[in-house]
Each structure stands twice: as structure tokens, then as C-alpha cells.
Structure 1
């Protein structure tokens, strides 16, 4: 049924809502059970979510592609989690750099405004699909800032960006990371921004932009929101609960340019 078609008389009223969401509503039933087709769709979605969690990110290929697209050097690091199984069991190890890799990060001079870290997180699929087109737009929107070299991190959690940002001497750390897959979104990318990054920062001290993907928050609007947050964070010297996202208000009152709608 097309989104603009009326709901037939006597049909399940939930059908009208089902057109506008990937949530599992108005699935129908056969006796006391779900239709076989819906059971199979659920099984497929569950398998896709599990595959996304266990999928390995080709770190070197990712770093090469990002460097070529942005014009920034990129290096690869690893967290203290030695493998995927350990990473999933020990979130704490994903929050700190392996000592050998920590030693490869040098403080830049002058201190960069922004350090961008790309980490596999819980969905390498999200990073493979969305990190590059988002970062290209963000690089264009923030071309006047001083960027640190890009860092691609394996077996990384959100807080890993704090240590990397501190070691690079950056005023802001932005980590793009694969989010925990859902049954309708195995490829959702998240972005976390932290002012004055250092180990021990709490989630309340970060701004999060989540569900970045074409079927969620698309690249132009995600890049616009992140660019606004970066500039405001540098000006106000805060992130997290002290910095509310008002980027949409700027669009409404004409104080900011509309997001770039061009495709890469």
C-alpha cells in the first residue's frame, strides 16, 4: 500500500502509522501467531544486527579512503581490547588506547581546534557506509578550522576519543562510531563531541548526534548540526548539557545556510 493511499474501511487503523515508521506494528496475525512472512523478516533483521556487531572493519582501507577524500593524513590505532570477543565482554578496554598505539600519537603544534576519530564501535557496517560522506561534508563546512590528523580506531568505545583528543592536544574531539544495531537499523552512525577531551570525561559532558544514515538523519543535516555544535563549543568552551543544539532554529530564522543537499 502506498503512503498516500487511504486506509480501506474496516482495516487495521495501525496501518496508517505503519507507513511512516520501520517499527514493527500492524504485522497482522494468523490465528494466535504472527504471519510466517513477518517471523522470517524478524529473523533476518536479528541476523543482520548480529552480523553488524561482529563484522570487522578494515582499518587501513578506511584510513586510506578518508585521507584521500579529506586531504588530511590518517593513522590507525587500537584500543586495549585485543579482539572482538574481548571488546564485547570488556567495554572498559575499548575506552583506552593500547600502550604501543598511544605512543604513536603526538601533540600537534599549534594545538588543533578539532580532532576527528573514526571508530568501529558496535557496527563497522555503519562506519563503512556513512563515515566518509559525512566527513567530506563536515570538512567542507569547517574548512577554516585547524584540524588534527584523522585517527581510525579499532575496537573503540566512545570514551576512546577523550584520550586520543588529549594526546593530540585538540580543543575538541569528535568521534564517529558505529552505534548498537537495532532490528531496523544495523548501520546507524553516531557522533560524539567533547570539549577539552581527557580520560574521565562523562557522557553529560558530550553532545551526541545519533542515527546518522540516509533512512535516519541524512548526511547534509547531520553535517550541519555537527558544524554548528563545533563552532558553538569552540566559542562557548563547553559541550554536553551546557550546550543545547539550536542549529534547527538557525535554519528556521534564516541565520544559517540551508544544509548541502548535493550527493557525493
Structure 2
């Protein structure tokens, strides 16, 4: 077995944020590797516990021309949210009544922006992603109904919100579980015909939207494709394969007669 060279290890580190070839000091990690790990762990914990500023997020989304409302899940506190995932999947009664009162005509898509497990990710990426996504949906003549900012949200909360708003599809933007290399990763979950009881197998997910992951433009392209095809085929989830990355076949120009 050949021993990897210092150059090959260095190149490997350039290709991935994963912790590879950290070296050692005796039987332990080097001081730098240990300090880097401790710092990234602290950043992940801070992202989970970060405050969610729903008001400023609503203002920023409203500036994009969206009709925005705020709702809350049944998780009364952040601790309740972390200990009881089920509470984050249902709206509290006041939010249910508010959405029922403000329900308008049936729309193609309801957008839900939820804090999830990383409010930091939502504050960092959600508005800029929406800035890229909205023109793509408009170009496909897809009507965006109300936009909802949800506090204490789990992914499935979008099902109840979409159903109450009469949306054909719910698109949930939510902070993903922080990792040691990405404490601010945003995810987008798409569910056709949202209603209580939908399973994760009935959703499509576009994940890892952050500085070192999917760009806003790449993510918006994928989400818009899935929305368009999901509405056209009346399905999302395992029945809708993401083929947005496949290039169109080149057209063969007709041969002109001499």
C-alpha cells in the first residue's frame, strides 16, 4: 500500500470541508485541530439557540412584493421546540384562526419561511434565495399566494399552512440541522397538495444552500424546476425525480440543399 504524499493530502483538503488527515500529537489531535473542532461545535450550538427575528424577516420579504403573515407553532419556547418535535409540526390555535380568516382564492404556491434548527441560516440566506426564486416562478406563470413566516417550525408545519391557504403546493424554506462544517445551511421542502399527515416520502428537498454549498442561483433553479414539474404532474416526493440538472439534447439543424 502506498503512503499518500503531503501534496495529495493537501489537495484532498481543498476538495472537502470534512475533517481528513488531521494529524496527531501523540495519541491525541493536534492543538489546532482540537481548537478548530471546538470552535465549529460552538458555532453549531449557537445556530440552534439563535433568536429568530420574524419581524425583520417579514419586512425584508415584504420589500420583495410579497404578502407576508406571521404564525407560531404549538412550541411555546425554544426548549419546548427542541424537546418536543411534534409541537413544531402543528400551528397554535390563534395562527389557525388567523389563516382561516385571511384565506383568499386558491393559489399555485404558498411560501413558508420557518426558523427550524438554524434561525441563523434563515436570516442569512432566505431573502436572497427568494430574490432569485420569484422571477423564475413568475417566468413560468406560477402564482405565489401568501407568504408565511413561522416561528418554532418543523418541516411538516408547511403542510397545515398550505392546506389552510388552499395552495396546490407548499414550499418550506427552513434552517437545517447545523453541522460542524455548515452551521447556516438552508433547506427547501416542496409538497404537492399539502395537508396534515403528509410523509417525508411525499416531499422533494433541495438542501445545503449556503456559502460553501448550493448558490442562490443554483438552488432557485432547482426549486423552480421542481415546482413547475410538480404542479404539471400533480406530484412531489419519490414520484418526482429531480432532473433539473440534465442538459437538453442539442438540436440537429436541417441540412440545406445546395
* Residue in structure 2 matched with residue 28 of structure 1 by the alignment: 23
The CA distance in 2 between the partners of 1:168 and 1:10, in whole Å, is 59
Please report how far the alpha carbon of residue 15 of structure 1 lies from its aligned counterpart in structure 2 after TM superposition. Answer: 2.8
The CA distance in 1 between the partners of 2:130 and 2:112, in whole Å, is 11
* 1:104 lines up with 2:101 in the alignment: no
1:81-230 aligned at under 5 Å gives the runs 81-106=75-100, 108-143=103-138, 144-230=141-227
Q: RMSD across aligned C-alpha pairs, in angstroms?
A: 1.5
User: Residue 158 of structure 1 contacts residue 192 of structure 1 at CA under 8 Å; is this kept in 2?
Assistant: yes
Deviation string 1:201-251 (CA, Å, 9 cap, x unpaired) is 0000000010011210111110000000000001000000000000000x4
User: Residue 67 of structure 2 contacts residue 146 of structure 2 at CA under 8 Å; is this kept in 1?
Assistant: yes
Q: Assess, with a 3 A threshold, how the Cα gap between structure 1 residues 162 and 254 changes in structure 2: closer, same or farther.
A: farther
- Structure 1 unaligned segments of length 5 or more: list them: 1-8, 256-264
* Residue in structure 2 matched with residue 3 of structure 1 by the alignment: none
- Structure 2 unaligned segments of length 5 or more: list them: 252-258
**What SS is found at the alignment partner of 1:221?**
helix
The CA distance in 1 between the partners of 2:239 and 2:15, in whole Å, is 33
Match of 1:61 among 56, 60, 71: 56
Match of 2:6 among 2, 11, 18: 11
Match of 2:44 among 41, 49, 53: 49
Structure of larger gyration radius: 2
Please report how far the alpha carbon of residue 16 of structure 1 lies from its aligned counterpart in structure 2 after TM superposition. Answer: 2.4
Please report how far the alpha carbon of residue 10 of structure 1 lies from its aligned counterpart in structure 2 after TM superposition. Answer: 4.5
User: Residue 187 of structure 2 contacts residue 205 of structure 2 at CA under 8 Å; is this kept in 1?
Assistant: yes
User: Residue 142 of structure 2 contacts residue 228 of structure 2 at CA under 8 Å; is this kept in 1?
Assistant: no
User: Residue 12 of structure 1 contacts residue 26 of structure 1 at CA under 8 Å; is this kept in 2?
Assistant: no
